Amino acid sequence: MFTVTPSIAKATRKPTHKSTGLGYAFATLGLRANEARVDTIRKAAHASAVRLQELAQDSDERIDLLSDVAISTYRLLDPRQRTHRIERIQLCIVSERSRELVQDSRRSWQSHPDGLDQSVDGSLRSA
């Protein structure tokens, strides 16, 4: 078993998210280079975000760092960002936990606060 130790990027180090390399994204989440397991990336993102929330920092700095975590997570989970075929394949494998999250998400959106229910085909109807 391994442990994910989130590495919080220094606020003075500005990311270059426009670059094609993923090095900053891996470092931001404290992951080894080329990590492609979806659950591991999500756990590292969660751990990094929780740690940032606990730090007593200037709110603007914390918001910037949380933004870096979110963008890094998005980039690492995007198969189009990967050059190795096996990494793209690993990112497309859906775990049982991911399926549960999707199903729970669908259930929570079936009933809208404005009194409309969403049908199976996605259309809205009055409740």
Q: What is the pTM of this model?
A: 0.63
pLDDT of the chain, 127 residues: tens digit per residue = 444 444 554 444 555 454 557 999 999 999 999 999 998 999 999 999 999 888 756 688 888 889 999 999 999 999 999 989 999 888 888 777 777 777 777 776 665 555 455 555 555 554 4
Domain boundaries, the chain: 23-93
Give CA–CA dist 71/67, Å, rounded. Answer: 6
Task: Output helix, strand, coil percentages for the chain, rounded to the nearest 5.
Answer: 55, 5, 40
